[in-house]
Amino acid sequence: MTMQRQLHDMTHRAFLSSPTMWCGAALIVAGCMFLSPRWRADIASRHMGVVARGTPVTTTFTLRNQGLLPLALTRLEADCGITLGVKEGVAIPARSEIELPVSLQTDRLSDGEHKSEIRILTNSPLQSSITLTVAVAVRSELIQSAYDLALTSAVPQEFTVSAVRGSAVHVLGAEATHPHVLVSVHSGGQPKGTSADISVQWDGEGAMWDLGNVIVHTSSPTMPTIRIPVRVSPPANPEPRATAERDHDS
């Protein structure tokens, strides 16, 4: 009994130390890895540009299974505001691909850059999860290229007011609150007045510093008017108070 036991132990140890055993194990592991579902997305991140708040953003990712076994999407997680067009449990056949439609609602997003993530868990032992990103810049309905104007009597200044993508808002017109400021509006070549170039010029009369505002009228219910402060630069005349104080001191 003892001899049989010793012979068994010696055979077992010899088998474990055999290169053939380890080569066979390596081949089994390699075969499992080769057969296991492996996947990739056509692109992991997309920036959808500038859109008006409230405009839904849609895009589609392509998920491809590069392995020889089916790939199951076991769990789908997404940030708030994202709706996915594929449900959990969907399987991608071997060497096949599916499309993942994504919709992002922007009505609750503030102005600025936003990045939302989609996390996908799978049955693949080689790549159990992947994260996709949808980025967008949200703006109010209108974008203006200037927030104040400095004028001289000789040189007109121009600025642009335009609607962001997804907005039907357009510029209706513009006027100046100061009688010596001249304003003209002409289309920027966009349909329905969604972009307007506004030219502002001072005639050189009736002001020292402050020239009031240029008021741009729009069709936006949330931003019906845009006010652009206007001033003189450089000053047309010396400051009278400073001159009087220097004369008094002398």
Indicate the number of domains in the chain: 2
Residues 56 and 114 both lie in one domain: yes
Residue 27 falls within a domain, yes or no? no
Q: pLDDT class for 246, splitting at 50, 70, 90?
A: very low
Q: pLDDT class for 25, splitting at 50, 70, 90?
A: very low
Residue 211 falls within a domain, yes or no? yes
> Which run of H or of E encompasses 24?
helix 19-35
Q: pLDDT class for 67, splitting at 50, 70, 90?
A: confident
Closest CA to 200 of 180, 220, 218: 180
Residue 32 falls within a domain, yes or no? no
Q: Report in angstroms the alpha-carbon separations of 58 from 48, 52, 109, 127.
A: 9, 14, 15, 26
Residue 229: cis peptide before it, omega within 30 degrees of 0: no
Residues 78 and 152 both lie in one domain: no
Residues 172 and 121 both lie in one domain: no
pLDDT in tens, 153-173: 778 899 998 888 777 788 889
Q: pLDDT class for 131, splitting at 50, 70, 90?
A: very high
Residue 157 falls within a domain, yes or no? yes
Give pLDDT, residue 32. Answer: 47
Phi, psi of 204 (to 5 degrees): 85, 5
Encoded amino acid at 31, one letter: G
Closest CA to 235 of 146, 150, 148, 147: 150
Residue 9 falls within a domain, yes or no? no
Residues 112 and 169 both lie in one domain: no
List the CATH number of the domain containing 133: 2.60.40.10
The boundaries of the domain holding residue 107 are 39-139
Q: pLDDT class for 11, splitting at 50, 70, 90?
A: low
Residues 109 and 70 both lie in one domain: yes
Residues 168 and 118 both lie in one domain: no
Q: pTM to 2 decimals?
A: 0.57
* Mean pLDDT, rounded, of the chain: 79
Residue 22 falls within a domain, yes or no? no
Tokens 């053939």 belong to 20
Residues 149 and 191 both lie in one domain: yes
With b meaning 16 or more CB within 10 Å and e meaning fewer, what string describes 180-205? ebebebeeeeeeebbbbbbebbbeee
Give pLDDT, residue 114. Answer: 94
Residue 75 falls within a domain, yes or no? yes
Q: pLDDT class for 17, splitting at 50, 70, 90?
A: low
Give pLDDT, residue 170. Answer: 83
